[in-house]
Amino acid sequence: KDHWEVDPQELTLGEELGSGQFGLVLEGMWREKKVAVKMTREECMSDDEFKEEALVMTKLSHSKLVQLYGVCTQHSPMCLVFEFMENGCLSDYLRARKGQLSQDVMLGMCLDVSEGMAYLESSNFIHRDLAARNCLVSHDHEVKVSDFGMTRFVLDDQYTSSQCSKFPVKWSAPEVIRYSKFSSKSDVWSFGVLMWEVYSEGRLPYENRSNAEVVESLNAGLRLLKPRLAPDAVHLLMEWCWKEKPEDRPSFALLVHELASLSNI
Ligand SMILES: Cn1cc(-c2ccnc(-n3ncc4cc(C(C)(C)C)cc(F)c4c3=O)c2CO)cc(Nc2ccncn2)c1=O
């Protein structure tokens, strides 16, 4: 048996944490650790390719990535056993704490995500859907990146093609919208929007504008405005992430350096 295989007998399942993109996510216990267990629904995810991909994901390990502990693939529905992040997704966390987050905490959240993303960048692993909703918060404001690379297993093409309603246009780089050209530099664009979300306390980017209107304004060179709480130096980093040409954007390694130097001021 592969050592990433979790024995279902060792799993205790509890309350529902939410019905994720692929199916049910339950709280649970595994080897005295609190875990989040994702039961994959057959019709939402292609099984086979997912198995070896899940094994790739078990090899990605970093303190700022939500850790996959193991998989149960010997029966259906397959389940993925993750480290448990008790404060749920970052977007809900920001909205619930409007007006209560200090400058240090907001900067620390951006730094946490940039560190996790710099690790994925160094592993040549593209997230494809980086946003505050796909980051999770553990105890005391620690933020980790979640569900990296999982978009490739979504069978719902409403989600995967940029012309459709569920595609995350507001977080997508121009080359992704136009040509589905994903790269770590398109993840950097999304990271710029995530920084905007953090300093906007979880507000929706381009609030009441449609995806089509957002595409038009981006093509006209318009960008999200500086959130009231964002220092100029952080807004400059956001705008750097939103350069039209991918090669003009910073790497995550450089963003970590810039954000770390801001947090030491
Ligand atoms: C690990 N983990 C996962 C979740 C959790 C629960 C429900 N749906 C999800 N989500 N959320 C988003 C999501 C997104 C995708 C894309 C392919 C990128 C679109 C693919 C997914 F598979 C998920 C998923 O499963 C998660 C995120 O994977 C919640 C936790 N914790 C808490 C704690 C308190 N309240 C709520 N959740 C937790 O610790």
Three-state DSSP at 175 gives helix
- In what side-by-side order are the strands of the sheet with 68-72? 11-19, 24-30, 33-39, 79-83, 68-72
Is the pLDDT higher at 79 or at 184?
184
Stated pTM of the model: 0.95
Q: Report pLDDT for 113.
A: 98
Question: Does any ligand 1 atom lie closer than 6 A to the CB of residue 112?
Answer: no
pLDDT in tens, 67-101: 999 998 877 788 899 999 999 999 999 999 999 99
Query: At 45, is the pLDDT very low, low, confident or very high (cuts 50, 70, 90)?
Result: low
Q: Report pLDDT for 115.
A: 98
Phi then psi dihedrals of residue 55, to 5 deg: -70, -35
Structural contact between residues 134 and 145, judged by C-beta atoms closer than 8 angstroms: yes
Phi then psi dihedrals of residue 58, to 5 deg: -70, -20
Q: Report pLDDT for 181.
A: 97
Is the pLDDT higher at 28 or at 149?
28
State yes or no: is 129 an active-site residue.
yes
For 162-190, give one letter per residue: b (16+ CB within 10 A) or e: eeeeebbbbbbbbbbbeeeebbbbbbbbb
Nearest-angstrom CA–CA distance, 198 and 193: 9
Nearest-angstrom CA–CA distance, 23 and 176: 26
Predicted ipTM? 0.98
* ω into 250 cis (within 30 of 0): no
Ligand 1 atom having least distance to the Cα of 133: 12
Nearest-angstrom CA–CA distance, 14 and 38: 12
Question: Does any ligand 1 atom lie closer than 6 A to the CB of residue 66?
Answer: yes
